[in-house]
Chain A
Amino acid sequence: MTTASLNVPYVDIAGQHASIKEDLLSAISTVIDRGDFVLGAEVEELERRFADLCGVRFAVAVGSGADALTFALRALDVGPGDEVITAPNSFVASAACIAMVGATPVFSDVGADYNLDPALLEGAVTARTKAILPVHLTGRPADLDAIGAVARAHGLHVIEDAAQAVAAEYRGRRVGSLGTAGGFSLHPLKTLNACGDGGILTTNDEAVAERVRLLRNNGLATREDCRLWALNSRLDTIQAAMLLVKLRHLEAWTTARRRHAAYYQRELSNAAGIELPVDRPHEKAVYHTFVVQADRRDELKRYLGERGVGTSIHYPVPIHLTRAAAGLGYEAGRFAVAERQARRILSLPVYPDLREEQLAHVVGSVRSFYQRGS
């Protein structure tokens, strides 16, 4: 029973940073020596590199992924009286950013890939709809061709919530380049992670980029010229400096995540009791999370925990059933797919540093849970 004593935490942020901390500290030192803590050189460099990574003309670094989405909405004049369609199974920020600009989040159910089901979108469009905000949940791109077709038919903007999907691809194009704008999170638990909050907006629309540059910086075109009322939401220079260090590792990290996912998919393909995520040929998922659907999910989660395997649930309560959404008038049963998934989903560890014996321990533990019966 050597494997039974193996510890597999759900995430290991400290472990990720142990090997690169000297590089991170020297990156911080450089910023301190110059003292340009706000919108310094590294912010611009990160923006350039991130734009290249996504295949877009502009990237604007901001305080958080939520702010990136909020700014995209504001830059497109979405506000009170408007509706924005999004998925009910995301992290709450996807809907909150809509509410924070004064617009109304409107939910539409998802498909087996956990992303907006394009076939259902028409039913959510009203005369007030201004935009669709598809989420690339788990790091898998939503079906942007079909979603884009609905958007075009109704004259709607598409704002990609790419918070979990840095470097994910859809028909050979990177997410963040597929809509009017994309919002990414650089939160510590993301695949490209700051050591604090951070976000970045991508767009090919120069007017959107310029507006967001003003919106993140108190509306200031110069120190003395305030063009519009705005916020203060800038990615910290020292976070950008550390992200540039991490960007050098991103490809290897993403490859490792996808390798771990492939391992689970292979080793659990015929396992009873669980459904695995499916990769389709036209997409490259980056596996921010590896989400399975499990019979007797809560029991499995407890069992895995007892065997040292950390898991998580993303997310146990769909947004439309949270207290925050009470005023929106949705009832249980409204989004059958998302609600069923919420009862069944479980995220297995998939971070890059996982070792083979840890992965094997996860697989063995899942199998033994279902083999031993109830």
Chain B
Amino acid sequence: MRVPFSYLDRQFADVDAYLADLKAFVRTGDFTLGKPLTEFEQRFAALSGMPHAVGVASGTDAIILSLKIRGVGAGDEVITTPTTFIATVGAIAMTGARPVFVDSENGFVIDPEKIEAAITPRTKAIVPVHYTGNVADMPAIADIAARRRLLVIEDACQAIAAAIDGKPVGTWGATACFSLHPLKNLNVWSDGGLIVTRDGDLAAKLRLYRNHGLVGRDEVALFGHNSRLDTLQAVIGNRLIPTVPAITDRRIAYAGRYDRAFAELAPRVRVPIRRPGVKHVYHLYMLRVERRDALLAYLNERGVEAKVHYPIPVHLQAAAASLGYRRGDFPVSEADAACVITLPAHPYLTDAEVDYAIEQVRSFYA
């Protein structure tokens, strides 16, 4: 049996409806900041429980624009965690600011108890990452940020529809940043991103900033970026967005099925702590395991397309050399890099495929 990691072939096995949408769209020529984009932004805002959503070219750009529009740049420090996809840190560095790392905790998100020690007079912002689809401890982070007068930008690229106690991601930060990359929980047929915010003025500024600073066609209010979610991709997004609740429920159900099965394999397989009240949307279903590389090879040989996100923590990447961190600086993140494994948990799997994956993990440790 094959348990694929990617689901694109299953999700788009029947593309006729999408192509019919595109055929009608191509005829309009409404390719840049067009009507379907406005509609998609409104629907995404509604899905996210936020009043405003601004479509941009990628999740990375969502973070860059959010930081820069609030004045973060050269000379500033921005706190985040090394347990993330490198784009979080690249985005901070691209503003000219210096990324400062704080270790992650059991749920693969920034450890709020370690944040205060990393704050300096240069610290301007905190970028917590809702990594894997788990939500960072936002009430605690928001409390620190309020006391220390720091900006909070939520990296929610993996956390569409995630929440704490019913409060959606984006509730605590000035913005929350989402990715629509083809392997995200809500995906389009290319790179794409969205910024959500409660702040109408900020949303208006971001709309300028993503579009060359243009007010109308002829007035330039500020030097800006060109970072627009393609309207063509919004056409795809409009067709997919109604499926997000069902997709999310299915991911949560499969994660629960895995969690229950793997509880009995402790301590060789360790299921992360699931914080009560958190709606974790399981973009990645990650475990800590013994003999990780052997398990990975074993599963891959048996058709279970497990992966590792990621074997090298960001602070030990070549790109981070100039930041001066060393092995040992972030023990949780480093230990995780050596023992995490990601199992396929997407909604296009069958129960039988999930059970097969469970069986293979069991048999490896038997």
Q: Which residues of A have CB within 8 Å of B93?
A: 229
**What sequence of 0s and 1s flags, for each residue 116-146 of chain B, a beta carbon within 8 Å of any chain A beta carbon?**
0000000000000000000000000000000
What is the CB-to-nearest-CB distance from A331 to chain B, in angstroms, rounded to a whole number? 17
A196–B32 touching, CB < 8 Å: yes
B317–A225 touching, CB < 8 Å: yes
Which residues of chain B from 1 to 43 have any CB-CB distance to chain A below 8 Å in the complex? 6, 8-9, 12, 15, 18-19, 22-23, 26-29, 31-32
Compute how far the CA of A25 lies from the CA of B90 in the bound complex, rounded to whole angstroms.
35
Q: Which residues of B have CB within 8 Å of A220?
A: 86
Given A93-B226, A218-B86, A324-B221, the answer on whether A13 and B29 have CB atoms closer than 8 Å is: yes
Q: Which residues of B have CB within 8 Å of A93?
A: 212, 226
Given A21-B27, A227-B318, the answer on whether A238 and B190 have CB atoms closer than 8 Å is: yes
Compute how far the CA of A272 lies from the CA of B85 in the bound complex, rounded to whole angstroms.
63
Compute how far the CA of A324 lies from the CA of B215 in the bound complex, rounded to whole angstroms.
11
Let me know if B227 is at the binding interface, CB within 8 A. Answer: yes
A196–B227 touching, CB < 8 Å: no
Let me know if A236 is at the binding interface, CB within 8 A. Answer: yes
**What sequence of 0s and 1s flags, for each residue 282-305 of chain A, a beta carbon within 8 Å of any chain B beta carbon?**
000000000000000000000000
Total interface residues in chain A, CB < 8 Å: 65
Q: Which residues of B have CB within 8 Å of A228?
A: 318-319
What is the CB-to-nearest-CB distance from B90 to chain A, in angstroms, rounded to a whole number? 5
Let me know if B267 is at the binding interface, CB within 8 A. Answer: no
Q: Which residues of B have CB within 8 Å of A196?
A: 31-32, 230-233
Q: Kindly report which residue of chain A lies nearest to residue B193, judged by CB atoms.
A: A232
Compute how far the CA of A231 lies from the CA of B89 in the bound complex, rounded to whole angstroms.
10
Let me know if B218 is at the binding interface, CB within 8 A. Answer: yes
Q: Which residues of A have CB within 8 Å of B232?
A: 195-196, 238
Compute how far the CA of A21 lies from the CA of B26 in the bound complex, rounded to whole angstroms.
7
Compute how far the CA of A194 lies from the CA of B190 in the bound complex, rounded to whole angstroms.
13
Let me know if A204 is at the binding interface, CB within 8 A. Answer: no
What is the CB-to-nearest-CB distance from A65 to chain B, in angstroms, rounded to a whole number? 7
Q: Which residues of A have CB within 8 Å of B27?
A: 14, 17-18, 21
Compute how far the CA of A31 lies from the CA of B236 in the bound complex, rounded to whole angstroms.
14
Compute how far the CA of A356 lies from the CA of B285 in the bound complex, rounded to whole angstroms.
62
Which of A140-148, A165-173, A255-263, A315-323 is found at the contact surface with chain B?
A315-323
Residue in A15, A17, A232, A234 with the greatest tally of chain B CB atoms within 10 Å = A232
A14–B212 touching, CB < 8 Å: no
Q: Which residues of B have CB within 8 Å of A344?
A: none
Let me know if B272 is at the binding interface, CB within 8 A. Answer: no
Let me know if B237 is at the binding interface, CB within 8 A. Answer: no
Of the candidates B23, B90, B317, which one forms a contact with A231 in the assembled complex, judged by CB atoms under 8 Å apart? B90
A227–B226 touching, CB < 8 Å: no
Compute how far the CA of A210 lies from the CA of B2 in the bound complex, rounded to whole angstroms.
36
Which of A47-55, A96-104, A109-117 is found at the contact surface with chain B?
A96-104
Q: Which residues of A have CB within 8 Å of B6?
A: 35
Let me know if B248 is at the binding interface, CB within 8 A. Answer: no
B29–A25 touching, CB < 8 Å: no
Total interface residues in chain B, CB < 8 Å: 63
Q: Which residues of B have CB within 8 Å of A64?
A: 57, 226-227
Let me know if B225 is at the binding interface, CB within 8 A. Answer: yes
Q: Which residues of A have CB within 8 Å of B32?
A: 187-188, 196-197
Compute how far the CA of A17 lies from the CA of B221 in the bound complex, rounded to whole angstroms.
33
Of the candidates B182, B191, B228, B318, which one forms a contact with A225 in the assembled complex, judged by CB atoms under 8 Å apart? B318
Let me know if A75 is at the binding interface, CB within 8 A. Answer: no
A188–B31 touching, CB < 8 Å: yes
Let me know if A41 is at the binding interface, CB within 8 A. Answer: no
Q: Which residues of A have CB within 8 Å of B221?
A: 322-324
Which residues of chain B from 85 to 99 have any CB-CB distance to chain A below 8 Å in the complex? 85-87, 89-91, 93-94, 96
Of the candidates A195, A227, A234, which one forms a contact with B319 in the assembled complex, judged by CB atoms under 8 Å apart? A227
Compute how far the CA of A317 lies from the CA of B216 in the bound complex, rounded to whole angstroms.
13
Let me know if B219 is at the binding interface, CB within 8 A. Answer: yes
Which of B105-113, B293-301, B308-316 is found at the contact surface with chain A?
B308-316
B212–A96 touching, CB < 8 Å: yes
Which of B58-66, B195-203, B328-336, B356-364 is found at the contact surface with chain A?
B58-66
Of the candidates A14, A223, A231, which one forms a contact with B60 in the assembled complex, judged by CB atoms under 8 Å apart? A231
A226–B319 touching, CB < 8 Å: yes
Let me know if B325 is at the binding interface, CB within 8 A. Answer: no
What is the CB-to-nearest-CB distance from B88 to chain A, in angstroms, rounded to a whole number? 10
A95–B223 touching, CB < 8 Å: yes
Let me know if A224 is at the binding interface, CB within 8 A. Answer: yes
B318–A226 touching, CB < 8 Å: yes
**What sequence of 0s and 1s flags, for each residue 25-47 of chain A, a beta carbon within 8 Å of any chain B beta carbon?**
10011011001011000000000
B60–A218 touching, CB < 8 Å: yes
Let me know if A24 is at the binding interface, CB within 8 A. Answer: yes
Q: Which residues of B have CB within 8 Å of A24?
A: 26
B64–A35 touching, CB < 8 Å: no
Let me know if A239 is at the binding interface, CB within 8 A. Answer: yes
**What sequence of 0s and 1s flags, for each residue 58-69 of chain A, a beta carbon within 8 Å of any chain B beta carbon?**
000001111100
Which residues of chain B from 29 to 79 have any CB-CB distance to chain A below 8 Å in the complex? 29, 31-32, 57-61, 64, 73-74
Of the candidates A15, A28, A188, A197, which one forms a contact with B57 in the assembled complex, judged by CB atoms under 8 Å apart? A197
What is the CB-to-nearest-CB distance from B101 to chain A, in angstroms, rounded to a whole number? 13
Let me know if A237 is at the binding interface, CB within 8 A. Answer: yes
Compute how far the CA of A231 lies from the CA of B221 in the bound complex, rounded to whole angstroms.
24
Of the candidates A14, A21, A324, which one forms a contact with B23 in the assembled complex, judged by CB atoms under 8 Å apart? A21
Given A37-B189, A38-B182, A66-B225, the answer on whether A229 and B319 have CB atoms closer than 8 Å is: yes
Between-chain CB contacts (< 8 Å), 30 pairs:
A16-B29, A25-B19, A25-B26, A31-B189, A32-B12, A38-B181, A38-B191, A66-B212, A93-B226, A95-B223, A100-B223, A188-B31, A195-B31, A196-B233, A218-B85, A219-B90, A227-B319, A228-B319, A229-B319, A230-B90, A232-B57, A232-B59, A232-B60, A232-B61, A233-B61, A234-B191, A239-B230, A323-B221, A324-B221, A324-B223
The 4 residue pairs across chains A and B that have the minimum distance between CB atoms: A13-B29, A196-B230, A229-B93, A236-B190
Query: 10 additional contacts, CB 8 Å, given A63-B57, A195-B26, A218-B85?
Result: A28-B19, A28-B189, A35-B6, A67-B226, A195-B31, A196-B233, A218-B90, A229-B90, A232-B90, A236-B233
